[in-house]
Amino acid sequence: MTFKIKIYTPLGLYFEGDITSLYIKTITGYRTILPGHIDLLAALDDGECIIKEISNLRCFFICGGVLKLENNVALVLVHEIYSKEELNLLDLENKLNNLETTPNPKTTEEKELTVQKSKLINLINFLKNK
């Protein structure tokens, strides 16, 4: 048994297909969605998203968004999404290093730097874990 999924970014459709399960991080924790799941609306947090197709497993890292599950169709709207193939560990570590050596940021920039650092750390951990 399968259900349909469509993943959109601000740039348009990123992924569409029939899947057997969805493992995704909401703001209240990770959820596993299987065919026939009750309808659901959930805010998404930064984290891993695993899509299981009949003969394939896909791993992504998502950055925030919304999940709407209705009538066995999952609609996922995300701010950003990355597959492991799209990411380069050395580039991410260099970007993080550059952010950490930013001299005396203004107060308004501190929050943005913290958000960027957190995102880079999460992406690096995503790449290193599997």
pLDDT in tens, 45-87: 999 999 999 999 999 999 999 999 999 999 999 999 999 888 8
Supply 127's token pair: 């790449």
For residue range 81-113, list pLDDT tens digits in order: 999 888 888 888 888 888 877 666 666 577 788
Whole-structure pTM value: 0.82
Q: Which stretches of 27-94 are assigned E, i.e. beta strand?
A: 29-33, 40-52, 57-70, 73-83
Q: What is the DSSP letter of 105?
A: -
| Cα(57)–Cα(43) distance, integer angstroms | 23
